[in-house]
Amino acid sequence: MKSKQISLKNRRRNKPKKNGQQVNLLKNSTQKQSTEYKPKIKAKVSKAMISDDASLSSKYIFVLLLVTAIALIAIYYNSILIYCQQTYHSDIFNTGSLTQVTEQKDSQESIEITSSTPKDATKGQTDVNHTINNESLLNQSAKNSVINSSDETDKNPKIIRHNKIYEQLNVIKQKRSELNRKAAGIPPLPEQKISVVKSESPKIDHQDIPLIHEPLPIVVTKNDKVFFVGDSLMQGVAPYVKKMLFKQYKVESLDLSKQSTGLAYPNAFNWPKTIDDNLIADPAIKLLVVFWGPNDPWDFPVKGYAKYAKFKSELWEEQYRLRIAMVLNSAYEHDVQVLWLAVPCMRKRQLNEGMIYLNTLYQSELEKTQQHFLSTNQLLGCTYEKYSNFIESGKDKIKVRVDDGVHFTTAGQKILAKAIMEKIIFKQLEGGDSD
Amino acid sequence: MSYLSIEFGLVFIVFFAIYWAFRLLPKFQNKLLLLSSYLIVGSYSLQFAVILFIYTCAIYFFSVMIATSKRYARCWLILGLSAAIINLALFKYFDFFRYELQSLLNYLNLSILLPVITVLIPIGISFYTFHSVSYLVSIKKKELSVAKFWDFALFLSFFPSIIAGPINRAKTFLPQIAVSQPRAVLEPYRAFTLIVLAVLKVYCLGGLISENWVTPIFSNPLEYSTLDLLVGLYAYAMQIYLNFSGYTDLVTGIALLLGFRLPINFNFPYLAFNLREFWDRWHISLSHWIRDYIYIPLGGSRRSFVRTQINVMCAMLLSGLWHGAGINFIIWGACHGVGIVVLNVLDRYTGRGWIIQRSPIIARFITWHYICFTWLFFYCESLPDALDYLTALSQNFLINSHYTAAFLSICVIFLVYPLCQNIPNWCTLQLSRTNRGFLPIIFIFILWLTIYFAPSGVPNFIYANF
């Protein structure tokens, strides 16, 4: 190190001075060194280099910065588009207003259209198509069939077939439920869960398929794994549940939650695919815990449509339900139970209203597949009508939300983690190799 | 608006063009800087900009009173410092101490109910409070005359350093604002090197380490082996260094491009042979601020040996508290305080640098591990979390390791790290020797590679929360 400094110094001393300007700069810098406090080593070396810097003009630097920026934008064009979608919930290169093209409502045809979207988006869309051909669309069509069942099914033979499959799936589920219940030796759950779920979203005007069967109790053994997915809300909660699961039951878990993600922008992060991949890769996963919401109440692009689907529009809802159904379908295919956390109240009015709406979608899709939906508002001491950062506990008020009005404090995270743990029943394995 | 976001990059290029178009009018450049700084603060919240402006007016008033009042200058200084500290305490610490204060009031049978208020901590408040303290003290010491109001406003709000430092001293920074001669871009090659290094450190290396090593291991330490948990600690130490020093590099580079010189904040801290030296290399602007405005006024090392150690503990505890209102930060500060006290005691009885003289690498090894241990409290928000980690670290010897390759990589990094010292200067030198026509190609290539390997998403600046 020292020899390097000396050689640099010597180089500077021996180097002929090019012009007066450089000499002055050198003097100025030396004076500055004496007044500013800077670590000795760096200061000494940087002096040797200033003589080389002198003549870079601001114009040249501007051109340099501009060229670099343009080139990087060109290289990462697709990533930047995705970033803009996620951040501004619109395509900045598409000047059109964000409206839904309602006339193209025929979902069967429109979703199958292929267009020139980025690579990841195409992947995401492939998944959507896959699901349509399986169960998920059936949920949608089943919903429609409640409203106008005979007309709808008469027109579309595909839907008739799907409905039959859906019915069969329900029969299989029922049988599986009975078998599992017998195997676990667990009595049926009381009715209270439904009332809890309903109190979560007081303004639901949504008519969905009535719940045929209550969800099975969540039972895990030492050999099972729990899989956490979600956004920054889950990032806060999952570590506590992971610790509790391991401490209490030695149950391992996997947490892939990632901030700023959800179901709205699969080309930014494709959750249905990620979940499916992980469920295939790790058959030990028996419970999927999901927590999404605040990143989703925005318009998003839909393949085959020139403009963004407007949040809460029919097209938006259809697409979003498909994505929820894809997740639930993956879980079903791999015999994994789902515990979905309702998005709690938010301080900002618009975001809060978005969460109420999203919860209705989550809840109704979960009811169709008889999975668990966990209310979070009561746990955090707020309602959708009245936001609060605090929950009253005896005489004291515990702060459960941080000041951004979205995320949780450590206390809030622990409360939710405990609530998740309360939903999980640990079953000892026969043979006594578990705790 | 994150300084590593695409938006900031593009806005900065436009700003750079406008700023240097008025090269001959430094006063106007100051106005531009002031406006852009307030816009950036306002982009977080309009309230933050209003709070900053009111604070600026208040501190300026105190500085004028200190300068004009001959008899009561000291009183005005105390008032000014109290105002600054109360402002900081109200915004940053009120919520933290509310529980304790309420318990105390209840204990004293005082029927006062402290309000439960939701206050957002204004962005950069910790930093501009420290800037203002250095200004008030310099005025009192007559090192500076009262600055012009708008110059002072720019000193407090200067956008490269308001979010997360470095902490500027009025004595060195105000003269850079109050220039009448045209400014010039300072050390452009160094500025470029710093900006590219920042992207590499924060986006790529810091992001990868965080995503692959820190987050999974810290999310449930109980599942991991002792070796893995060591990797977790090492990795977090690396991540926080890369994140914070990368941020400092970025803002220093930006400031140089605007013709300003910010104090150096990092000097390869993990090469330190002991904890004292670490604080001479880590967050230098903070440690020097604490030395000059807390440790020395408390008496420094001028009094007895015991008193010196008490002063050290006070300074380090306050340093911990400054990082955030949380018991974890206080413990972190206490660990550093205890470490330095132990070092002082050893120096007293064995002679200064006893271990360093015998084996520098062991000295560095011990220092590195102690620092990694203290970072545990920095990361964990509560004491039970940290204790869980320590329990697992001391018990999980028999669990299979998942991070053996990572552990070996870190060992290699530890050994070759001293060779990295000259990389920034070497890069600067090489850039300055390169044909200018090739510069954009070099930058594009490096940044393309860096962003390619980096995980998706704009990383957070850890220190922006403080």
Task: With CB atoms and an 8 Å threshold, state whether A397 touches B190.
Answer: no
Interface-testing mutation among A36, A79, A241, A265, with chain B (most B C-beta atoms within 10 A): A36
Contacts of B189 in chain A (CB under 8 A): 49, 52-53, 56
A-B contacts at Cβ under 8 angstroms: 135
Query: Is pLDDT of B269 > 90?
Result: yes
CB atoms inside a 10 Å sphere around CB B353: 15
Task: With CB atoms and an 8 Å threshold, state whether B116 touches A390.
Answer: yes
Asked if residue A280 belongs to a domain, the reply is yes
Cβ-contact B3, B251 below 8 angstroms: yes
Residue of chain A nearest B455, judged by CA positions: A258
Name the residue among B170, B131, B130, B153 with its Cα closest to residue B56. B153
Alpha helices in B283-379 (DSSP H): 284-290, 296-298, 305-323, 327-350, 354-358, 360-379
Q: What pLDDT is recorded for position A229?
A: 92
Q: What pLDDT is recorded for position B421?
A: 86
Residue A12: CB partners within 8 Å, gap ≥ 6?
A47, A48, A51
Asked if residue A401 belongs to a domain, the reply is yes
Asked if residue A321 belongs to a domain, the reply is yes
Query: Is pLDDT of B104 > 50?
Result: yes
Q: Which of A52, A59, A239 sits opposite B219 (nearest CB)?
A: A239
Interface-testing mutation among A22, A32, A58, A258, with chain B (most B C-beta atoms within 10 A): A58
Q: What pLDDT is recorded for position B347?
A: 87
B22 sits in which H/E element? none
Q: What is the pLDDT of residues A337-384, one digit of tens each?
A: 999 999 999 988 888 999 999 999 998 888 888 888 988 888 888 888
Alpha carbon distance A229, A323 (integer Å): 14
Interface-testing mutation among B22, B172, B212, B222, with chain A (most A C-beta atoms within 10 A): B222
Categorize the per-residue pLDDT at A395 as very low, low, confident or very high, splitting at 50, 70 and 90: low
Contacts of B118 in chain A (CB under 8 A): 389, 403
Task: With CB atoms and an 8 Å threshold, state whether A53 touches B190.
Answer: yes
What tokens were used for B315?
A: 């300074």
Distant-in-sequence contacts of B439-445, Cβ < 8 A, 24+ apart: B439/A64, B439/B192, B440/A64, B440/A67, B440/A68, B440/A71, B443/A64, B443/A68, B443/B192, B443/B196, B444/A67, B444/A68, B444/A71, B444/A72, B444/A75
Task: Find the domain containing A222 and state its range.
Answer: 214-426
Alpha carbon distance A11, A7 (integer Å): 6
Alpha carbon distance A192, A199 (integer Å): 11
Query: Is pLDDT of B94 > 50?
Result: yes
Q: Is the pTM of this model over 0.80?
A: no
Q: What pLDDT is recorded for position B408?
A: 94
Asked if residue A156 belongs to a domain, the reply is no
Q: What is the dihedral of CA A386, A392, A395, A398, to 10 degrees?
A: -120
Asked if residue A96 belongs to a domain, the reply is no
Asked if residue A306 belongs to a domain, the reply is yes
Task: With CB atoms and an 8 Å threshold, state whether B222 touches A1.
Answer: no
Q: What pLDDT is recorded for position A188?
A: 45
Q: What pLDDT is recorded for position A260?
A: 82
Q: Which residue has the higher pLDDT, B164 or A19?
A: B164
Q: Which residue has the higher pLDDT, B355 or B12?
A: B12
Q: What is the pLDDT of residues A266-306, one digit of tens each?
A: 888 889 999 999 999 999 899 999 998 888 888 888 888 87
Count of domains forming chain A: 1
Task: Read off the CATH number of the domain in which A262 is found.
Answer: 3.40.50.1110
Categorize the per-residue pLDDT at B258 as very low, low, confident or very high, splitting at 50, 70 and 90: very high
Q: What pLDDT is recorded for position A67?
A: 92
Q: What is the pLDDT of residues A217-273, one digit of tens each?
A: 888 888 889 999 998 899 989 989 998 888 888 888 888 888 888 888 888 888 999
Residue identified by tokens 């009015």 is A349
Asked if residue A330 belongs to a domain, the reply is yes
Asked if residue A328 belongs to a domain, the reply is yes
Alpha carbon distance B318, B332 (integer Å): 11
